[in-house]
């Protein structure tokens, strides 16, 4: 993401503002304490200037983070063939989401009919055992045909993330910059597609055909070529780039 100043992560639950170090190259690094840059921040090329969580409630976030961790452990015992992807916030303190992935299995739809209801039941049971259960509600993201299921620490969608990111653009660009059209590229992000001036849906699997609220569609195989052309045009979109 060499060009990025804002990164919206984990379905918009955390948005990072990055500070670019012009003296260095374009490689994202962690909390490196040696070989410090000229500003002495400890990062080689750019660092996190600001982190914004969509829900700024530390008690709820930590409670749900713990609940997610327990859920992942229980699923790993009951369903050993499910791949569990844990998604942490940038400071590694909050487990903000988990993807339970079974797309590598042969009959994914049959597996989905069995696994998804089991996961929903586990979430309901784990939350009912907690005091003040309403404040600890996890956000379950289900899909009609995709062979995976997501559980998040709070409710959010990419439309909400879109609103926050666009509200920060003027701060990043500086005053006096004229407003530009906004493009959104994604696979099944209808809440954000409907807000963008130009929306491009990406199809990655011919077996899946979700209904997309975008104006244009590309196959995943040509996405890299499209992005390269877009960068060469300084991100000024026209139909001939497609």
Chain segment 147-206, per-residue pLDDT in tens = 899 999 988 889 999 999 998 887 777 666 666 789 999 987 899 999 999 999 998 877
CA 13 to chain centre: 8
- Segment 221-227 shows an average pLDDT of 94
Chain segment 95-123, per-residue pLDDT in tens = 999 999 998 998 998 999 999 999 989 88
DSSP the chain: -TT-SEEEETTTTEEEEEEE-TTS-S----S--SS--TT-SS-SSEEEEEEEESS--HHHHHHHHHHHHHHHHHHHHH-TTSEEEEEE-TTS--EEEEEEE-TTSS-HHHHHHHHHHHHHHHHHHHHHTSTTGGGG--EEE--SS-SEEEEESS---HHHHHHHHHHHHHHHH-TTPPP---EEEESS-HHHHTT-SEEEEEE--TT-------SEEEEGGGHHHHHHHHHHTTT---GGG-
Say yes or no to pLDDT of 3 above 80.
Answer: no
Instruction: Give the pLDDT of residue 98.
Output: 96
Instruction: Give the pLDDT of residue 143.
Output: 83
Say yes or no to pLDDT of 15 above 90.
Answer: yes
- The Cα–Cα gap between 104 and 80 comes to 13
CB 4 within 8 A of CB 19: no
Say yes or no to pLDDT of 25 above 80.
Answer: no
- Segment 225-240 shows an average pLDDT of 91
Q: Residue 203 forms beta bridges with which residues? A: 219
- The Cα–Cα gap between 10 and 83 comes to 17
Q: How sure is the predictor about 208, in pLDDT bands with cuts at 50, 70 and 90?
A: low
Provide the token pair at 176: 């006096």
Instruction: Give the pLDDT of residue 72.
Output: 94
- Segment 19-31 shows an average pLDDT of 51
Chain segment 32-78, per-residue pLDDT in tens = 333 344 445 554 455 888 899 988 888 889 989 999 999 999 999 99
């Amino acid at each position: 993401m060499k060009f990025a100043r804002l990164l919206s992560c984990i379905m918009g639950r955390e948005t990072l503002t990055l500070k670019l170090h012009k003296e260095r190259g374009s490689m994202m690094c962690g909390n490196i304490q040696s070989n410090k840059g000229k500003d002495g921040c400890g990062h080689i090329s750019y660092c996190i200037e600001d982190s914004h969580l969509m829900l700024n409630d530390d008690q709820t976030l930590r409670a749900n983070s713990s609940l997610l961790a327990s859920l992942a452990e229980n699923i790993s015992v009951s369903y050993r063939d499910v791949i569990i992807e844990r998604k942490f916030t940038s400071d590694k303190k909050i487990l903000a989401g988990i993807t339970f992935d079974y797309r590598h299995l042969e009959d994914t739809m049959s597996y989905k009919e069995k696994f998804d209801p089991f996961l929903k039941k586990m979430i309901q049971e784990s939350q009912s055992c907690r005091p003040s259960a309403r404040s600890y509600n996890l956000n379950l993201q289900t899909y009609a045909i995709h062979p995976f299921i997501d559980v998040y620490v709070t409710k959010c969608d990419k439309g909400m993330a879109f609103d926050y990111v666009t509200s920060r653009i003027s701060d990043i660009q500086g005053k006096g910059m004229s407003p530009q059209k906004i493009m959104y590229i994604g696979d099944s992000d209808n809440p954000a597609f409907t807000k963008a001036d130009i929306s491009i849906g990406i199809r990655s699997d011919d077996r899946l055909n979700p209904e997309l609220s975008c104006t244009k569609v590309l196959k995943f195989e040509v996405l890299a070529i499209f992005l390269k052309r877009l960068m060469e045009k300084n991100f000024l979109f026209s139909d001939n780039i497609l």
